[in-house]
């Protein structure tokens, strides 16, 4: 199970999390978000270890702006969290890996995802709300059984130390990783390192048990 810590904007907090070496660190490039990275300098991300995939998160952004920010921050992954089409998503894959996010509820139509096959590298399943992520709410994970494509997915939406053990019981062949955000914060964009260390320990143990089995 891969770990993505998302919604970071404080340079010292970013440095502390980088020392934990998550697989992905996400940076919100969406102005209405309280986790918007407008004030982050290029240097704040420049020292991140190569083992960490720097992920820029965008919502219905223009292609030229996404391209410019990929170059500015040296992102090697982007996450598209709006209504981006399959073709739009695919257009960036020569430069970066692409995660396409979807908000899920009990009425979600998984058939719409077929159009994204061969157009994205990963999917991310979040809780459907009026917000574009960061709601801190979970959805009914049993509906993931309806997902039949071969695209690996991240699970997002209200993940916390309290429910990570339950997450580890999700048995889906394409379950790739978890996205840790608002439930690990002391304020928007500022992560609680102690909570993250606990989560990392739980996931590390899970990964060890998976290898043994």
Cite the active site residues: 6, 126
CA distance 125 to 50: 26
Q: Write down the residue that tokens 């379950």 correspond to.
A: 175
CA distance 26 to 124: 13
CA distance 24 to 6: 8
**Which residue stretches of the chain are H helix?**
11-18, 42-46, 63-73, 86-90, 164-167, 193-212
CA distance 203 to 79: 22
Q: How many CB atoms lie within 10 A of CB 115?
A: 13
Q: Are the C-beta atoms of 77 and 99 separated by less than 8 Å?
A: yes
């Amino acid at each position: 199970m891969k770990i993505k810590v998302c919604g970071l904007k404080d340079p010292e907090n970013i440095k502390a999390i980088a020392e934990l070496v998550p697989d992905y660190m996400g940076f919100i490039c969406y102005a209405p978000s309280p986790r918007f990275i407008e004030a982050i300098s290029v240097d704040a991300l420049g020292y991140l270890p190569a083992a960490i995939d720097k992920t820029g998160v965008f919502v219905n952004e223009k292609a030229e702006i996404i391209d410019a920010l990929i170059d500015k921050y040296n992102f090697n992954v982007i996450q598209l969290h709006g209504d981006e089409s399959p073709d739009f998503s695919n257009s960036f894959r020569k430069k970066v890996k692409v995660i396409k996010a979807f908000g899920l509820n009990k009425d979600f139509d998984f058939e719409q995802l077929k159009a994204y096959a061969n157009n994205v590298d990963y999917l991310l399943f979040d809780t459907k709300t009026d917000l574009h992520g960061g709601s801190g709410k979970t959805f009914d994970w049993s509906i993931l059984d309806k997902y039949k494509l071969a695209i690996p997915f991240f699970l997002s939406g209200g993940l916390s130390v309290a429910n990570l053990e339950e997450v580890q019981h999700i048995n889906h062949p394409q379950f790739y990783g978890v996205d840790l955000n608002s439930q690990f914060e002391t304020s928007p964009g500022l992560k609680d390192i102690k909570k993250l260390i606990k989560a990392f320990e739980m996931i590390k143990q899970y990964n060890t048990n998976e290898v043994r089995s």
